[in-house]
Structure 1
Amino acid sequence: MEAEDGSELCFPQLHNSSCRKPTALWHQAVLPFFLMSLSTLTVALNLLVIISVSCFRQLHTPTNILILSLAASDLIVGLLLLPVEILLKISCWFLGDLACSLFNYVSFIVTSASVGNMVLISIDRYVSICDPLHYTTRVTVKRVRLCVCMCWLCSVSYSGVFARDGLTQPGRYNSCHGECVVFIDYVTGVVDLVLTCVLPVTVIIALYVRVFAVAVAHARAMRSQISVVTHRLSVGSKTMKSELKAARTLGVVVVLFLICFCPYYTVSLVGDSLISSSYMSFVLYLFYFNSCLNPLIYALFYPWFRKAVKCIVTLQPGF
């Protein structure tokens, strides 16, 4: 019986101080296969977004810079976070305590950067729809690039607060060898819940409620003026329709992000002791799954993305 128990340990030579390996078929085969497929698809799709926006100068617009930043955070999910989750499902953590702390640090950065990008996207759509006359002067590529850099810099600094103990004292909160955990005290958890979830989600929802209220008003105005056929009105109408379509597309991105992101923070709200490990895994994978959804939305709603992908695949120099 001891031999059987020992065969399930991460480090059999350590006996009682070693963690146990997951042995169920679901953890050893089915779930890793699903996560590997999701990881591959996430990396491939987000690389296409990054290459498309980076390589084609005509796509260097303020909105697309924000999409590029979001794709970068999604790429890290597929390239690093999901493969590590696969490792934890089929084996134990054997990369060392410092690597565990660095992994948790990166996961914090990606989470906060994704939220920051969504806030910036909401602000971009708010200005474009609610103040279209000043959009081109207020929202420039240079300013958006600066905001994106500030978003990532703030994410790195902010996440350092949560990773500080792990980086200075790796493995401090591990209960056994072969484990990779992160500990956040109650006060820090509440502050993180407010700053990373409650406040940004409130801002995003408030901005998009206003955006769609104005969008509906514009749509009604355009329908009421359909009998007025002038070149100037036609040009203005096409511009507004383009902005409304962009708002709708990014609105879908934002809504799906909130659906995938909010359950992730119910763990902080309710508490780990009241939530099963299965639910914790589910909300984590749901959040990761959102990284794969975003490029699919672009492919469905953005003709420029489909054209760019076609040029990339066929090695054409431009549109």
Structure 2
Amino acid sequence: MALSDSLPILCLALAAEAAVGYPDRLYTAIGHPVTWIGRLIKGLDQGLNRDAWSFRERRMAGIVALLVLLTATGLTAWALSALLQPLGLIGILLLAILASSLIAQRSLHEHVAAVSKGLREDGIEGGRRAVSMIVGRNPQRLDEAGVSRAAIESLAENFSDGIVAPAFWLGFGGLPGAALYKAANTADSMIGHRTPRHEAFGWAAARFDDLVNLPASRLSALLIVAAAALHRGASPLNAWRAVRRDASHHRSPNAGWPEAAMAGALGLRLAGPRVYGDVRVEDHWMGNGRAEATADDIVRALALYRTACALLFGLAAGSALLAWIIGR
């Protein structure tokens, strides 16, 4: 799909998802593309990840599973594009609606805002309940500052892999590009863990997800830096300094970029040592500000996030206009 076709679809998808998200009634009726992808991943995990196999055999099985997943997802998305694209404007609108389900601007905002609301209305227990919906760490080990940092870290990281990355691949590859990315990202979230069951089988999924998120994580950091320049009380200079100083020290090759940018912009420290389940993870701090984050800082982070999303839309619209001018 040419950029002159895929970029307008991206703009429409971003606008539609920001306006209405993915309706609960639709989710109840038919599920969500991520849940469909998740069922396939679960089936591949159950069928190909055999306890009796050696580490090497399970790693090879994981590679096969990833190839099956990407092939099935890519062919389905390509067939939908081939069916709808010849329909002209109606086809573009339908493709944009389908693609909007692969972007999560509105739902991410709602989930993170719920943490701030929970802290304000129900104290630490309300914050813990809300943050448990978006992070994997043990919420009972978190105080108010820990809950607030966890929410802001999730906002920054998911801005990259839940919004900018699918938008990036949608812009360059149309619906198939976004769907393939979402399949890879969902596989990483389900099986890309260093656990006895998935360390070998999920290796390919984790490494591939790291690769396809490289451009979006860098772009996400730049968008947050730019957003900080538009907000009083936020510092684009400190955001940039934090990215340069800290991003490469994160245990993830991608998450550190938006997290460091958000931390620097808000004058916070994010990431650092934390507990997942009963396992303590030692990680480098992102940013050199205060670690005592609050519900007010979540609100500030959400304001930056909304501006960064608007800048992403502006970048997509400008790119679509440029592609149209070049293609004339």
TM-score bracket, normalised by the shorter chain, equals 0.3 to 0.5
> Could you tell me the TM-score, scaled by structure 1's length?
0.34
> Could you tell me the TM-score, scaled by structure 2's length?
0.33
**Which is greater in Rg?**
1
Structure ranking higher in helix proportion = 1
